[in-house]
Every structure is written in C-alpha cells, then in structure tokens.
Amino acid sequence: MSIAPSITINETSGITFLNIDNAVATAQISLYGGHILSFIPKSDNVERLWLSPHAYMNGEKPIRGGIPVCWPWFSDDHGREKGELPAHGFLRSQVWQLKSSEDTDRGTVIVLTPAFTRADGFEYDCQVTLEIVVGSALTVNLTTTNTGIVPFIYNTALHTYFEIPDINHVELKGLKGSYKDKTENFAVKQTPEPYRLNQETDRIHSDAAEQLMLFNRNEKHTQINSAGHDSIVVWNPWQSAASISDMDAFGFKQMICVETAVTSGRKVEPGEAHTLTQIIS
C-alpha cells in the first residue's frame, strides 16, 4: 500500500503516528486508539484540539485529549457493573490499521480500521471504519456496518477535546432545550443562555444540534458540525481535574469537550450501515 505524499510516519514508545502536512492544514493521528491528536488549519494556524501534556503516549492507557473514539457504548452504559468493562468501549485502547491514504481535492483522506470489533460486552458481527479528511476543515466519519444476520443496538461518540484560550471567556452557541446533568444524578435541566461554564460540567443534550459554535471573547473560535447523532455531550472536569492522573490540575482552563454522540441507542439492521460525523473548522 502506497502512503499519500502528505503523510510521514514515525514511532515513539511503541506507538505509530501519522503526521499530515498538506497545502491547507497539518494534523497528527495515533494508530493506538485511531486517535486524532492535532488539527491546525493553515488559514489561521490555530490548534483546534487539546492534548493533555500528561497523556499516556505509550499504550498504557487511552490517550487524554484529541478525539477519542467511544464505541460500542458511551461512558459506563454497557449493562454491567461500573468498572467491569472499559469506559467508552474497547476501540480507543487497541491498535488500528491504516487501510488507505490519498491526497485529493478535499485534502488528505485516511481510512483506518480497528484490530477487532467483537469483544466482551458486544459480541456481534460488524465492521468499523474511521475516515479522516484533513482539509481546510477536519472531517471525521465513523461508520459501523452490520455484517451479521441479527440486528444490534449500540452507542458511540467522537469525544472531542477542543483547545481554548480560557474557559472563563468561552461561550458555546447553538444548543437549546433540555439536558441531563450527570453531576446531579441525571437531573433534567434547561440549556442556559448564554452557554458558559463556571463549574464541573457533564451534560447530555437531547437537542442533536447540527451546527455549534465556540466563541472566545465574542469572536468565533471553532465551528462544529455533526450528523448521525442523537445528542451532544458537553464535559469539563473543572477542579476535579486535579484528581485525574493524566491531566494537569489547571488543564480544565484550556479545554472543553463538545461531543457528537449517540447515547440513546442506534439500531443497525443486517446489511445496514450507520455513520457518525463530526466536522471541525
């Protein structure tokens, strides 16, 4: 298989990284976890993704930051006791394979597949592909195809960590309606206006907004487009970051997770495919 000219490959501490540098953007992808670590459009040279300086980059634990792939369940919603199965599923802690790459008019197109999709907690026949397009925008398509003879239900998310200058001056626009507050035992609350964070936040918004905007001091910082989702999850650990081993105690000030997600279960019939999409610009 030939590698696209815009891609260079290096290996550090047993992890293989794809480094993309084309006419419109740079990016970095870890094959451990099928994990996008960086995306910088050359139009403004501003990093869109936050990566913890204390992230485990040796395969010992899932990487903290970037875009973790949550599949086939979200959080600990796997039907077992908490901790019995890995949080957010088992794709983010395995080595993915590079199936193809090419430079196109859209940008650098990369297709990855996980080593396996059947494991304890999800024993169905399916195929998962992650298509990443590094262009003037970053397009991420996570496609699950049912290759078996029975339907299955799964949850999934692109758990994106966005880098921001200061959480105290960031506003998220585009959400409405109610959300479930995980910090208060899933209490149902109304989306605030303006939408700013000032405490630990873990919210599942049932409003599957197709376009969201992050503003910093009233200036556009990042646009987030989504498709194939049923919810948007917003997360920031705030001062609880001090208890997270792979995160700086004050790291919460430079990040906000805005996740394109399926949290209410997506049924996939035999022969059917479902794609979760997030586009970042």
User: CB neighbours of 201 closer than 8 A, spacing ≥ 6?
Assistant: 183, 234, 235, 236, 238
In a domain, 2, yes or no: no
CATH of the domain at 106: 2.70.98.10
**E strand or H helix that includes residue 37:** strand 35-41
Per-block mean pLDDT, blocks of 10 residues, the chain (281 long): 95 96 98 98 97 95 97 90 90 97 97 96 97 98 98 98 96 97 97 97 96 91 97 97 94 97 98 98 96
Ramachandran assignment for 166, one of left (phi > 0), alpha (psi -120 to 50 degrees), beta (any other)? beta
β-pair type (126-134, 138-146): antiparallel
- Inside any domain, residue 53: yes
| The pLDDT of residue 11 | 96
Give the C-alpha distances (Å, rounded to integers) separating 143 from 48, 224, 274.
23, 19, 6
Instruction: Domain of residue 36: give its range.
Output: 7-280
Residue 212 lies in a domain: yes
* pTM (two decimals): 0.97
Number of compact structural domains in the chain: 1
Residue 1 within a domain: no
Is 187 a member of any domain?
yes
Say if CB 190 and CB 247 are below 8 A apart.
Answer: no
Q: How far apart are CA 112 and CA 180, in angstroms?
A: 33
214 within a domain of the structure (yes/no): yes
CB 51 within 8 A of CB 147: no
Query: Is residue 32 one of the residues assigned to a domain?
Result: yes
